[in-house]
Amino acid sequence: MEPVLYDKYDKIAQILALGVLSGFSAVAQADASQSTANSPQKWAEKCEPWDEWDKPAPPFKVHGNTYYVGTCGIASILITDDEGHVLLDSGTEAGARVVKRNIEMLNFDIGDVLLLGYSHEHFDHVGGMAYLQELTGGSLVSLKAGAKVMESGASDPTDPQHGMHAPFAPARVDFVHKDGDAMGTGSLLVRSFSAPGHTPGATIWQWESCAEKDGDDDCKTIVYADSMSPVSRDGYKFSDHPEYLAAYRAGIDRLGKLECDILLTPHPSHSQMVKRAATGSFEGGVSCAEYAAQKHRDLDARLAKEMADE
């Protein structure tokens, strides 16, 4: 498929549909001279497990060109490239102000963010997306299942949590991507995978990030997985929606099979990020396979409760 190009301030962000390809065609390199990132330990000292969503936190380098720029309670991930950056999740409307400040603290230009994506379409993760889109001029990408929510700010009636969350400022969806698509800026590519369950438009993101180690490239595959929690409004039963349930299971299965050296999650405590950050490295700890296995157990427990309540 031919690449779709977005032109922003004479810079190009490529959106490449590579669903049938198994590997990444480019490797993004980190330029350590551009940033003044704190260590993960500094973040762990400031934040606590299941911390407040809008509590400011210092940004830090995860690995290579990948940075955590979110709050203590809600993640936002910046992936950098000389030709433009990718930003995943905005946090709440207030949290997005923290994200902006953190990007600037790293000495990156907020205007160089060309591509915006998200984990799932609830206000705690995308409530500030419209603000960041206006600020950056970046292109927002979304799965079809989440696009209407992003452009209306109102939850989808098919969302298990419909009616539970506050609306958020609508954002402009510039590109609808599909399961397995890869997209990015310059030499940076991120791949998206559909993972409906927590919301219909929930998305898993995967990319490769490299750092220099002993004169060689130290490359890690990073996965930013959705929450995947089987949470719902009163009266909703996942067992009443077999097609949605099957897609939910398939997304969890997909996550468990992905190449994954470092796992990051929208709610940091879902993957014990505070504990892992305190060690100074995100390698090891909770793996994608372990995270997926836990989500299957959570869903099994939810279905058992639904059956017991009948």
The predicted-structure confidence for 117-171, as pLDDT tens digits, reads as follows 999 999 999 999 999 999 999 999 999 999 999 999 999 999 999 999 999 999 9
pLDDT in tens, 162-177: 999 999 999 999 999 9
Residues 35, 38, 40, 43, CA torsion sign? negative
| Separation in Å, CA 201 to CA 63, 66, 69, 129, 158 | 27, 24, 23, 15, 10
Q: Can you tell me the distance from the alpha carbon of 29 to that of 219, in angstroms, rounded to the nearest whole number? A: 9
Q: If we measure between CA atoms, which residue out of 23, 288, 10, 73 comes closest to residue 180?
A: 23
Q: If we measure between CA atoms, which residue out of 92, 97, 99 comes closest to residue 52?
A: 92
- Residues 6 or more apart in contact with residue 276 via CB below 8 angstroms: 40, 282, 284, 285, 286
Q: Is 167 helix (H, G, I), strand (E, B) or coil?
A: coil
Assess if residue 176 is contained within a domain: yes
Task: Quote the pLDDT of residue 134.
Answer: 98
Q: How many domains does the chain have?
A: 1
Phi and psi dihedrals of 128, rounded to 5? -105, 10
pLDDT in tens, 210-226: 998 877 889 999 999 99
Q: Is 256 helix (H, G, I), strand (E, B) or coil?
A: helix
Assess if residue 251 is contained within a domain: yes
* Crossing angle between the packed helical segments 129-136 and 93-105, to the nearest 10 degrees: 40
pLDDT in tens, 74-115: 999 999 999 999 999 999 999 999 999 999 999 999 999 999
Q: Does 37 have pLDDT greater than 80?
A: no
Assess if residue 241 is contained within a domain: yes
Tokens found for residue 213: 């180690």
Domain span holding position 257: 4-18+28-308
Q: Can you tell me the distance from the alpha carbon of 92 to that of 295, in angstroms, rounded to the nearest whole number? A: 25
Q: Does 301 have pLDDT greater than 50?
A: yes
Rg (CA), the chain: 18
Residues 251 and 197: beta-carbon distance below 8 Å: yes
Q: Can you tell me the distance from the alpha carbon of 85 to that of 69, in angstroms, rounded to the nearest whole number? A: 13
CATH of the domain at 296: 3.60.15.10
Tokens found for residue 145: 């299942």
Span of 2-6, 77-81, 117-121, 203-207 with lowest mean pLDDT: 2-6
Q: Does 18 have pLDDT greater than 90?
A: no
**Residue 3 buriedness (CB in 10 A; 0-12 / 13-18 / 19+):** exposed
Assess if residue 23 is contained within a domain: no
Tokens found for residue 27: 């490797």
- Give, in degrees to the nearest 5, the angle at Cα 259 between 145 and 243: 30
Q: Does 30 have pLDDT greater than 90?
A: no
Q: Can you tell me the distance from the alpha carbon of 16 to that of 284, in angstroms, rounded to the nearest whole number? A: 31
